[in-house]
Amino acid sequence: MADQDAHSRPVFSIDRMDSKKLLKIFIFVSLAAILTAVFSGQLFELARGLGNNSPKFRMDEDYFWGVLWALGLGAVIYALPLGRVEKIWLLIFWAFRCVITLGLMLFYEDFYSSLDSYGYLKRGILAQVDSGNFGGAGTQHLDQLLILTNHYLPIHSSYHAIKVIFSFIGLGAVFSIWRASVLFFEKENFRFFLILGFLPSLTFWSSVLGKDPVNFLGGSLYILGVAYFFKNKKNFAFFWILMGTAIACWVRIWSVALFFLPFLLAPIFREFFNRKIPIKSLIIPTLVILLGGFYLDSWLGPIIESFGREYLESLNRMSAGWDGGSTQDLIFNSWGAVLRFLPLGVFTALFRPLPFDVNNAFGILAGLENFILLLFTIRAVFKSSSLAWRDPSVLWCSSFILIWGLFYALVSYHNLGSAFRFHLQVLPFQLLLILFLNRQKSKILRVAELKL
Amino acid sequence: MKKRAEISANESISDSFEGLPTLSELATLTLRHWFFVLMVTAIFSGAFYIKSRFFATIRYEAKAIIMPKMSRSGSSMEMLLGQLGNLGATSGFLSGVNANTELQQFYRLLTTRQMAESAVEQEKSLKEIGDPIKFKDEESLKNNVISTTQNSLAVKIDSPVLELRFVANSPDLALVGVEAYLKALQFYLTNNIITQSKGAEVFIQERLADLNKSLDQVEVRLSNIRTGKISPATLGRSVQSEVKRTETEFTRLNQLLDLLTKQYELAKIESKRNDIMFLIIDHPIKPISPVGVPIGKFLFLGAFFGFILSMFFLVLRERGSLSKLFGV
């Protein structure tokens, strides 16, 4: 009723304002305008000064288009047909993203003289010959997308503008995950929305010019599809799952395996948990794997290695392919060594860098964030009821996390710098798993409720 | 908590799409509201105009495009860059570049602190054009030349050329900056090539002296055998075979002498040659207009910003308190 009254009110009480109040507003607006003008002027100077590593000159002009796009996309959020509360929060998240994309990221770009983003800028926007490696098909797809974007959208070859557009894609992904969570939990958990919107690493890595925001969007649409699946809305589910998989595969082809293997693995887990084997008994299989690793080395090693030497070498090559600033040496001489490494590798992919792993500003921040995530995960696992582990959503989510961890174990361990970025793909799943495990017993989803 | 729960219940998924501040609400704005929007837009655009017109730092930019001369072998450049050692690393480029192309090597050279210092040394006028930049001392001048936030050189690779731009507060300083860098680069390369060739010349000279000595010894030994000064008993083999062996060695040493003499001549020529290591495709000229965001664009940004802000403001005010809006 009160809400209806608010609608029936005149749009703005300016109609009832006298000249004194108007004068006050005028003075306030003028001061705000002066401050904004001075601040933006300084910001342009900063963008020029800190943009020396970029393949482009005159980064202040480039920055202008970035700011304009940020404002324009803010207006687009305002015009979207969304819930009022959601919309306001999205606008706040967008402002936060703009501060990171057009502010903090300048220092990051100044610090690292060579970034993947610059390669995309060179090839996709500036159409320059790049003497470096072109990467796989995903890189080329993104190059083509950038060429088209630069051609059809008025971005004027601006690096900052395209970065802002990618950040908007990241915000779209955050919104998808939020809507998925509403479907999963049948309520609007705004705390989760705030975590998604303000998590530093998630905001940062889903705002860079690169594959990460696109892959993140694919993953988030996939989550939305799975949420619809658990709500027994098959048409929506298949549409979003396929859409998400297609987008993610477009930049990282192996996403198809990551997205569909959990559906195969989850039933195995379900059987495991249905036999009421306590979660703590997982320690024994882990020990078996570790000991098996040692035995493989001494007994079966030579036989297996004679078959698998070639694959082992490709594994080493793949791992070494992701060199960077925070590289750790990782060379496998046997398959046993690979097996022994996996628990550490999976842990590294999911929770590292931890504090003191990487001692720079980004490393410390990511370390703290991962440490908190680890604590919450441990708490959720130990506080969860055994019933929760039979919940299909938990099975699906934990299967995805495990498979993802196995996929990225080598790369993430070899280069903790890349681990920052790659972690973005699995972070929403980890957050969702914590929420699933914390779910009240009465809310736990049962397999029987699903109409498969 | 209770309030939050209520709001959460009220704002269910289906309800949240109703009663939104959508664009249709714009139709309900009165003339007075539009006047307000216009006023805010005008104030913001005015403030942005004044800032860009009267308080902006005017900067000029001079540029040059150079292309490494590809006939010169890359290995000599690599040797030169090896001498840079840690200087190359401090430029922060070692980590980022994987291919050893000449362009990247030039980039590395140009972005070292040593090159900045050399540029200041090369072009004394860089020190004289102190106004409007006031250098406190020599060190601050060097810092300024390679600084990222003040007047600085920016180098970008656009294969197969390299573009250099120097931004400064005056057109003269911008031009002098680029020219100083070009001179410093040429000076550095030439100086090091000559040093290298001189080194090679001395090395060959020493080898030639050794060779001549050995040749003399063999010649003396041969004449001693022929004249019978060395007895066949001390030789340990027949005189004919020893003569043949020594003659073969004499011929080999003579051939080596010819070869080294030729090398020596070439090294002497190389050491005196003042070779050009790169071509200047686009020579720097004195800039005539300043760079930076044009006033028109700045004005537009202010207007756009003011317009969006005023529209948001209208909606926020209409919707009551922020806490109610946020629902938390």
The complex's ipTM?
A: 0.76
* Closest listed residue to residue B222, CA positions, set B214, B233, B236: B214
The answer to whether residue A442 neighbours chain B at the CB level (below 8 Å) is no
Q: How many CA atoms, within 13 angstroms, populate the side-chain half-sphere of residue A40?
A: 29
Sign of CA dihedral B263, B265, B269, B271: positive
Task: Quote the pLDDT of residue B224.
Answer: 82
Mean pLDDT confidence for A181-208: 92
Terminal-residue alpha carbon distance, chain B: 9
pTM: 0.76
- Calculate how close chain B gets to A19, using CA atoms only, in Å: 13
Burial (CB < 10 A; 0-12, 13-18, 19+), residue B235, is middle
Tokens at B119, concatenated: 């540029």
Q: Which residues contact B41 (CB under 8 A, 6 or more apart)?
A: B303, B306, B307, B310
Task: Quote the pLDDT of residue B209.
Answer: 84
The answer to whether residue B257 neighbours chain A at the CB level (below 8 Å) is no
For an interface test with B, which of A18, A36, A71, A198 has the most B Cβ atoms less than 10 Å from its Cβ?
A36
- Summarised one tens digit per residue, pLDDT across range B57-108 is 888 899 999 988 754 444 444 444 444 444 443 333 333 333 346 788 888 8
What angle (nearest 5°) sits at the alpha carbon of residue A154, between those of residues A148 and A156? Answer: 90
The answer to whether residue A19 neighbours chain B at the CB level (below 8 Å) is no
Is A86 or B133 the better-scoring residue by pLDDT? A86
Inter-chain contact A83–B17, Cβ cutoff 8 Å?
yes
How many angstroms separate the CA atoms of B323 and B309, rounded?
Answer: 19
Q: Which residues contact B75 (CB under 8 A, 6 or more apart)?
A: none
- Calculate how close chain A gets to B275, using CA atoms only, in Å: 27
* Closest listed residue to residue B105, CA positions, set B87, B118, B92, B88: B88
Is B159 or A126 the better-scoring residue by pLDDT? A126
Least confident piece of the model among A39-43, A194-198, A260-264, B138-142: B138-142
For an interface test with A, which of B28, B51, B93, B95 has the most A Cβ atoms less than 10 Å from its Cβ?
B51
Task: Quote the pLDDT of residue B2.
Answer: 43
How many angstroms separate the CA atoms of B71 and B55, rounded?
Answer: 50
- pLDDT at A3 > cutoff 70: no
The answer to whether residue B17 neighbours chain A at the CB level (below 8 Å) is yes
- Calculate how close chain A gets to B123, using CA atoms only, in Å: 23
**Phi and psi at residue A272, to the nearest 5°:** -60, -45
- Summarised one tens digit per residue, pLDDT across range B2-58 is 444 444 444 444 344 444 445 556 666 778 788 888 999 999 999 999 998 888 888
Task: Quote the pLDDT of residue A333.
Answer: 64
- pLDDT at A103 > cutoff 80: yes
Task: Quote the pLDDT of residue B134.
Answer: 44
> Which phi-psi region, left, alpha or beta, contains residue B265 (left: φ > 0; alpha: ψ -120 to 50)?
alpha
Tokens at A34, concatenated: 């002066």
Residues on chain A touching B47 (C-beta within 8 angstroms): 30, 33-34, 36-37
- Length reported for chain B: 328
Indicate the average pLDDT of chain A: 82
Look up tokens 């009551």; give the residue: B320
Cβ(B326)–Cβ(A77) below 8 Å: no
The answer to whether residue A395 neighbours chain B at the CB level (below 8 Å) is no
How many angstroms separate the CA atoms of A393 and A186, rounded?
Answer: 14
**Phi and psi at residue A231, to the nearest 5°:** -95, 10
Mean pLDDT confidence for A158-169: 96
Residues on chain B touching A325 (C-beta within 8 angstroms): 95
Mean pLDDT confidence for B198-224: 80
Query: Of A212-216, A285-289, B257-261, which has the strongest mean pLDDT?
Result: A212-216
